[in-house]
Amino acid sequence: MNDQAQTQTPARGEVRCCIVGGGPAGMMLGYLLARAGVPVMVLEKHGDFLRDFRGDTIHPSTLELMHELGLLEDFLKLPHQEARQLAGQVGDTLINIADFSYLPTHCKFIALMPQWDFLNFLAERGRRLPAFALRTEAEATALIREGGRVAGVRAQTPQGPLEIHCDLVVAADGRHSAMRKDAGLEVMELGAPIDVLWMRLRRRADDPEQTLGRFDVGRIMVMINRGDYWQCAFVIRKGGYQEIRERGLDAFREEIAGLMPYLRERLHELRDWDDVKLLTVTVDRLRRWQMPGLLCIGDCAHAMSPIGGVGINLAIQDAVAAANLLAKPLLDGAPSYDLLRGLQERREWPTRMTQAVQILVQNKVISRVLASQGRPAPPWPLRLLGRWPLLQRLPARLVGLGIRPEHVQSPAAG
Ligand SMILES: Cc1cc2nc3c(=O)[nH]c(=O)nc-3n(C[C@H](O)[C@H](O)[C@H](O)COP(=O)(O)OP(=O)(O)OC[C@H]3O[C@@H](n4cnc5c(N)ncnc54)[C@H](O)[C@@H]3O)c2cc1C
């Protein structure tokens, strides 16, 4: 099968697995299944991967998977920055939070790379595999049901409607998944008291190097070093965006300058509110990640908070676990419901633990700083990390590797 080769509905049996969504979860699973020889089709509603502010972090665990797949060397030739430590500044106190240099991985850093480069890389490697097909501008609209199970997907393309009949549909269509809605799977909302405003500001050669979280009176900003620019995340209380807009762009620029005085002379780069993107934060989880013929992975199964920047990591871990579990069975036919349930059994615990830590940080640290009227003091866990650098290995493991990191066990077709 070739990329975009068919504009018509493929014949029954031609596609074994249809993956809805070409994000990190969908593209990684598509690559792994095709590598194992499973005929797979990924549907992506957009025409390309060029979307900004989707999280540009490639964690050591993902880099380790790239090593296991023999892709690491070529992957690291793509332009990227390397964050070996994460730091936070609370008031005037600068504290190192995570030190990745002790991780038992080939890469002891987070690679900062535009997500479209990562997805394009996977797509390009996928295209080399005869079992891989990617259909862009293909928006899945509904599940096809036959005999009490999901048996395929209906999609819209510029060339007209498309129907894909297959043994398994994987919904990897993100936090606003149309597939999980159509399936009627129950979503548990876990609550997020924050939203994030993303923006870019020029980075000068004499700026600090470090990717940094800055906490001060009622304000939090995270600055990610992207070479010639800073990707800045300004954290606000949920629903507070309208109020910020009403105060005006000058007042907003002043808030940023108050946090990071050296950015002041660059703040004219925020010309209007179009230069500031609101990203609504959601934390949720499906009660059941599967039904006969359908499996949900990534943000579709569990939307993550941006805290720790681990959403992409978890999405990819789901994809690897799903390929480990399903690649061989899919070569023989439709996987049973019990087999599909195995993915939730493996990945739910790491997801729950990670979300629990994120919610703790949201409620105990972030919300308190946003509500504070005076200069915040570093909370005790941060003070401990500052005093005992050895402890910085713990957040490094949590952020860099995650809980229960997966390894590639799915086969490579001969
Ligand atoms: C403010 C914010 C900042 C974040 N920052 C980070 C970060 O720095 N690092 C990090 O690791 N994570 C971050 N995250 C989380 C991260 O973006 C997600 O966890 C991750 O992208 C999930 O990957 P996914 O493949 O499951 O879904 P997505 O990345 O959402 O991909 C889903 C794909 O499906 C496509 N799609 C949707 N519907 C359809 C359809 N009907 N038909 C076909 N295609 C469809 C979409 O176009 C998209 O390409 C952040 C999240 C937020 C909200």
Among 304, 343, 362, the mutation site with the greatest number of ligand 1 atoms within 8 A of its Cβ is 304
pTM for the predicted model, two decimal places: 0.93
Among 54, 120, 283, 314, the mutation site with the greatest number of ligand 1 atoms within 8 A of its Cβ is 54
| Spatial separation of the C-alpha atoms in residues 350 and 405, rounded to whole Å | 9
Determine whether the shortest distance from the Cβ of 232 to ligand 1 is under 6 A: no
Half-sphere exposure (Cβ direction) of 365: Cα atoms closer than 13 Å: 21
Neighbours of 7 (CB within 10 A): 12
Instruction: Pick the atom of ligand 1 nearest to 175's CA.
Output: 30
Among 20, 223, 299, the mutation site with the greatest number of ligand 1 atoms within 8 A of its Cβ is 299
List CB contacts of 158: < 8 A, sequence separation 6 or more: 137
Nearest alpha carbon, ligand 1 atom 16: 311
Determine whether the shortest distance from the Cβ of 182 to ligand 1 is under 6 A: no
Give domain 2-81+111-190+282-368's CATH architecture: 3-Layer(bba) Sandwich (3.50)
The alpha carbon of 84 and the centre of ligand 1 are apart by a number of angstroms equal to: 24
Determine whether the shortest distance from the Cβ of 173 to ligand 1 is under 6 A: yes
* Domain edges within the chain: 2-81+111-190+282-368, 194-237+239-279
Nearest alpha carbon, ligand 1 atom 9: 309
Among 19, 42, 44, the mutation site with the greatest number of ligand 1 atoms within 8 A of its Cβ is 44
Nearest alpha carbon, ligand 1 atom 48: 23
Largest separation between any pair of C-alpha atoms in the chain? 66
Nearest alpha carbon, ligand 1 atom 21: 312
pLDDT digits (tens), the chain, 414 positions: 444 444 567 888 799 999 999 999 999 999 999 999 999 999 999 998 877 556 788 999 999 999 999 999 999 999 999 999 988 888 888 888 899 999 999 999 999 998 999 999 999 999 999 999 999 999 999 999 999 999 999 999 999 999 999 999 999 999 999 999 999 999 999 988 999 999 999 999 899 887 778 888 888 999 988 888 999 999 999 989 999 999 999 999 999 998 889 899 999 999 999 999 998 999 999 999 999 999 999 999 999 998 888 999 999 999 999 999 999 999 999 999 999 999 999 999 999 999 999 999 888 888 888 888 777 778 788 888 888 888 989 999 999 999 999 999 999 987
Q: What residues pair up with 198 in beta bridges, in sequence order?
A: 233, 277
| Spatial separation of the C-alpha atoms in residues 38 and 204, rounded to whole Å | 48
With CA atoms as reference, report the closest residue to 215 among 385, 81, 92: 92
* H or E stretch covering 47: none
Determine whether the shortest distance from the Cβ of 395 to ligand 1 is under 6 A: no
